[in-house]
Amino acid sequence: MNDISGQYDVVVLGAGAAGLMCAAQAAARGRKVVVLDHANKAGKKILMSGGGRCNFTNYYIEPNRYLCHNPHFCKSALSRYTQWDFIALVDKHGIPYHDKGEGELFCDNKSSDILNMLLDECEQVGAEIFLDTEIVEVSAEQDTQGYRLQTSKGDVNCESLVVATGGLSIPTLGATGFGYKLAEQFGLKVYDTRAGLVPFTITDQFKQVCSELSGSSCRVSICCGEQSFSTDMLFTHRGLSGPAVLQISSYWVPGMEVSIDLLPETDLAQALRSAQHEHPKQALKTFLSQWLTQKMADKLLDHWGFSGQLSELNGEQMDKIATQFHNWVLIPSGTEGYRTAEVTLGGVDTDEVSSKTMEAKKQPGLFFIGEVLDVTGHLGGFNFQWAWSSAWAAAQVV
């Protein structure tokens, strides 16, 4: 269809997780709903998420797993539309899933199961979706308190306008800052944005070690400021990645130190002393390879200047080795940026929006849901749950 001109109750901008969820829920209330998106396909980030299996929620959703300038903001929506509500929807559609660990729920098959579920929900209740549609201008109608949108396929009018345009992460999938600009157009405060859940880049002398160990991983405890995570870290050609690094990256700002415990479940100083007594002729590299791969033990010890047999070490040297492996301190040169970031930190100030309805306090009929808001979850299904919950909350009143 080339001309979509007309009057709607609700226009949703963005055919991603939050937008499709909101459209389906609002249309189920009898509202005439249309979803507009500039992309050529709906739900692109859903399709690529979770390695193609979509980590659609988590058993252990808690408000403290979210970053926001107002830590209380997300509580209302998360408590009114919970992970159990979304799981019930997944069950209704017969989608098989599994807990990958830590309560992280993934599709057994493909991410498309979740996208198709949302599209089916929209179709069943008559919510229309138009792709390849550019938004040229948005204006508030002074006399009707509604909104008028000039699009590449005609003018659209609505009572309620829902902004579900996401953040800036992964621009190759169509991410833009449109939602932020729209918020500013209507006088809402927008916090500066930056990449979150993103790999670190290393450019100092340790970059060579990272490159040589690319593909190697180990369980670590990683700290930045007062925040810490204990899970897997991955060496890459450009630096460090893996769940531990992605998690801590959301709390890191340029110039901050990051501390990594490469042997979080071992007292290395004590283990060295015991091993020296029992196996004095054992090489230090061989000794460390019981926890790290042989390659990791070799490269890290070489880089930090440790070598020889256990019998050659005195107490001070053992303590120095233990400190290096338990408290490896580095300052990343940066991150991979929005190119590979899973989320965008910052966004529309939640103090501008009702925590119950997601409606802008000083702009009636204008709603913001999902990632465009200054709410960012941890890795593990938390951001999808925020999309579902915030979308549901808005859908009850649009």
Residue range 89-125, pLDDT digits in tens: 999 999 999 999 999 999 999 999 999 999 999 999 9
Determine which helix (DSSP H) or strand (DSSP E) holds 322, and give its type and residue range: helix 315-326
**Overall average pLDDT of the 20-39 stretch:** 98
**Overall average pLDDT of the 357-366 stretch:** 97
Q: Residues 233, 376: one domain?
A: no
Q: Residues 251, 149: one domain?
A: no
The CATH number given to whatever domain includes residue 21 is: 3.50.50.60
State which residues form the domain around 110: 6-195+343-395
Cβ 118 vs Cβ 20: under 8 Å: yes
* SS3 at position 4: coil
159 within domain boundaries: yes
User: Does residue 1 surpass a pLDDT of 70?
Assistant: no
Selection from 38, 59, 39 nearest residue 47 by Cα? 39
User: Does residue 164 surpass a pLDDT of 60?
Assistant: yes
Write 363-367 long-range contacts (CB < 8 A, 24+): 363/140, 363/186, 363/187, 363/188, 364/145, 365/140, 365/145, 365/146, 365/147, 365/159, 365/160, 365/161, 366/140, 366/147, 366/160, 366/161, 366/163, 366/186, 367/160, 367/161, 367/162, 367/163, 367/394, 367/398
Q: Which residue has the higher pLDDT, 145 or 253?
A: 253
Q: Are strands 104-107 and 128-130 parallel, antiparallel or unpaired?
A: unpaired
Q: Residues 149, 13: one domain?
A: yes
Q: Residues 328, 383: one domain?
A: no
Residue 376: phi, psi to the nearest 5? -130, 125
Selection from 97, 93, 58 nearest residue 78 by Cα? 58
1 within domain boundaries: no
**Overall average pLDDT of the 223-233 stretch:** 97
**Residue 143: per-residue pLDDT:** 75
Q: Which two tokens stand for residue 364?
A: 């009636």
| pLDDT-above-70 percentage for the chain | 100
Amino acid at 12: V
62 within domain boundaries: yes
Total-model pTM = 0.95
Q: Residues 170, 47: one domain?
A: yes
Q: Residues 96, 181: one domain?
A: yes
DSSP letter, residue 378: P
User: Does residue 142 surpass a pLDDT of 90?
Assistant: no
Selection from 226, 230, 224 nearest residue 335 by Cα? 224
**Overall average pLDDT of the 204-214 stretch:** 93
Q: Residues 126, 11: one domain?
A: yes
Res. 144 pLDDT band, cuts 50 70 90: confident
Residue range 376-388, pLDDT digits in tens: 999 999 999 999 9
Cβ 125 vs Cβ 38: under 8 Å: no
Res. 60 pLDDT band, cuts 50 70 90: very high
Residue ranges in 162-251 assigned as alpha helix (H): 178-185, 207-212, 243-249
Q: Residues 159, 252: one domain?
A: no
Q: Residues 39, 102: one domain?
A: yes
**Residue 278: per-residue pLDDT:** 94
Which of 57-71, 115-129, 131-145, 264-278 shows the lowest mean pLDDT across its residues?
131-145
Cβ 246 vs Cβ 328: under 8 Å: no
Cβ 344 vs Cβ 371: under 8 Å: yes
As a whole number, the mean pLDDT across the chain is 96
